[in-house]
Amino acid sequence: MHIASRPGPWKRGPLLAALALLLGLFMLLHDRIPNRIGGLGSLAETFLPWFGLFIPVLAAGALWRRSASAVVALLLPVTVWLSLFGGLLSDKSHSGSALTVASHNVGADNPDPAGTARDLAASGADVLALEEITPQAKPQYEKELEKAYPYHTVQGTVGLWSKLPLSDTQPVDTKMDYGPLGDTKPVDSKMAYNRALRTTVATDQGPLAVYVAHLGSVRVLPRNGFWTDSRDRGAQALAEAVAAEPNERVVLLGDLNGTTDDRAFAGITSRLHSVQDTAGDGFGFSWPAKFPVARIDQILVRGVEPASSWVLPATGSDHLPVAAGISW
């Protein structure tokens, strides 16, 4: 009587091995995923770190099946994930910052603007950027922050409060437009069109150009997929403004509605680098506040040295505030 022998460890789990290889190639070649098909490329890049969660799932399956081929195949996604995000697993912050900057999308529906302002003032930031300031909440932010910050400017729905003098303040056109389906109202109907500014902060080491921006929202729509057109146009306009900036020292603060892994920000990240990547501790996810899954609130710099980067406690907004210490 013939008894069928069990496949050897190298022949077990071929599906698991194939899935592991596909996962590794997906992360390795994420920039090749086309955006023209429902914005899939940007969508994948927004949540790219989370694809690493599939690795332990596949590893458990490989051990359960005792599949040597699947275990070996898992080396590809593990290596790719570590090369992309391994640097974020360690604390890269250090002491010696000369200036603390912070940024917060305070939320148009924030039920307690005054409390949010007090929390932000208590953070000790020297320069504080706010996004999504409504006309109704603006007087409350100005009242609560005036004691800690003698200098401030508000341009449309973005503002900057500073302990140091400001000059040369002007709005930056981020090309806000109408919605993806030809709506009669802007994509963010509560928000004014002016959503970015540029100003100069006078530091003891010379002028520092500071940009504050709130780029257009993104949408997941049945007919359009991951719709990012308005945001992408804003990112391009912001990149052009930064490219034309004559000051060597630049800080960009704001809600960019996307992560720095997203190809839409290549024009910006080629000129500025993220403080979270170089001086952060962990991923620094900032949205949504109740269960953060992505860092869409950014602090990017040029010509200064990031010393530390962190996320501040939750306020009444659906975003978490982010902060960084920089030195010269």
User: 223-271: per-residue pLDDT in tens?
Assistant: 879 999 999 999 999 999 999 999 999 999 999 999 999 999 999 999 9
- Confidence at residue 189, expressed as pLDDT on a 0 to 100 scale: 42
- Confidence at residue 175, expressed as pLDDT on a 0 to 100 scale: 79
Each residue of 311-320: pLDDT tens digit?
Answer: 999 999 999 9
pTM over 0.85: yes
What is the torsional sign of CA 253, 256, 258, 263? negative
**Taking residues 186-199, what's their average pLDDT?**
69
Q: Which of 195, 207, 208, 47 is nearest to 131 (CA)?
A: 195
Q: Kindly indicate whether the domain formed by 99-327 is annotated with CATH number 3.60.10.10.
A: yes
- Confidence at residue 7, expressed as pLDDT on a 0 to 100 scale: 77
Per-domain residue ranges for the chain?
14-89, 99-327
For 99-234, list the strands marked E by DSSP. 99-105, 127-131, 151-155, 158-162, 166-171, 196-203, 206-214, 219-221, 225-227
How open is the CA angle 212-216-220, to the nearest 5 degrees?
145
Q: Which of 179, 258, 166 is nearest to 214 (CA)?
A: 258
For 12, other C-beta atoms within 10 Å of its C-beta total 17
Q: In angstroms, rounded to a whole number, what is the distance separating the alpha carbons of residues 237 and 239?
A: 5
Residue owning tokens 């704001």: 254
Each residue of 283-298: pLDDT tens digit?
Answer: 999 999 999 999 999 9
Each residue of 51-76: pLDDT tens digit?
Answer: 999 999 999 999 999 999 999 999 99
